[in-house]
Amino acid sequence: MSNREPEQRFNNLQDMGRALGGQPQPQPPANRGGPSSNRGPGGQDTGGFSSYLRDGYFETGETGGSYLRVTLLTDTAQRIAQMLSGPRMKPHQIRRFFSHVRALESSLRNGAEFAAIVPGIAKLEPAATNAVTRGLAPVEFQQFIEQNAREARKSERHFRDGFVAHFEAVVAYLPKEGR
């Protein structure tokens, strides 16, 4: 017998954020559009998503150092992968976005300045919006990309040690194609 807790399923990333201890942030009025709106394509309410990265990628350790929050590589990553997996989004579509992130990381390894890849990070947001608009991805994927792209643009460390590591963990938890 396993000592593991029963697996929880969440309807959206805001519910997951609350369950993981985050507090919901105030949401814009329903009649406002734009990327911070709770409105998806066609004006439907997406349920919001504001708390899962509320505290960022890093936490302060006992010695005062700043470290990646382990849950972003384990429980949180697994829950996000489960939420994104489904008939509207195939794992290969998520991996395509991750390949773009890996290409940006490779540019850094090859000597590019962080400022030079920031536009590439920002391009993830309209690409995710387009995927949702075309019915290829759930709105939660757009919210995942928006939250992470904004956090990743803060610094090279946020990008490499936060976003890349977190996104890699989400991809690792995706179901394998054809299973």
pLDDT at 12: 54
Report the SS3 class of residue 39.
strand
- Reported as a pLDDT band with limits 50, 70 and 90, residue 1 is very low
For the stretch 133-150, pLDDT in tens is 999 999 999 999 999 999
Alpha-carbon gap, residue 105 to 156, rounded angstroms: 9
Task: Tell me if 43 is assigned to some domain.
Answer: no
For the stretch 105-137, pLDDT in tens is 999 999 999 999 999 999 999 999 999 999 999
Element (H, E) at 66: strand 66-68
Task: Tell me if 120 is assigned to some domain.
Answer: yes
pLDDT at 14: 54
- Expressed as residue numbers, the domain containing 155 is 53-173
Alpha-carbon gap, residue 120 to 102, rounded angstroms: 11
Asked whether 97 and 127 are in contact (CB, 8 A), the reply is yes
Q: How far is CA 146 from CA 67, 107, 140, in A?
A: 22, 21, 10
Task: Tell me if 88 is assigned to some domain.
Answer: yes
Q: Which two tokens stand for residue 25?
A: 């942030």
Task: Tell me if 148 is assigned to some domain.
Answer: yes
Indicate the number of domains in the chain: 1
For the stretch 87-107, pLDDT in tens is 888 888 999 999 999 999 999
pLDDT more than 90, % of the chain: 58
pTM, rounded to two decimals: 0.73
For the stretch 29-61, pLDDT in tens is 333 333 334 443 344 433 445 578 999 999 998
Task: Tell me if 100 is assigned to some domain.
Answer: yes
Task: Tell me if 91 is assigned to some domain.
Answer: yes
**Residue 82: how many CB atoms within 10 A of its CB?**
18
Task: Tell me if 33 is assigned to some domain.
Answer: no
Task: Tell me if 138 is assigned to some domain.
Answer: yes
Element (H, E) at 58: strand 58-60
Element (H, E) at 80: helix 75-84
For the stretch 158-176, pLDDT in tens is 999 999 999 999 999 998 7
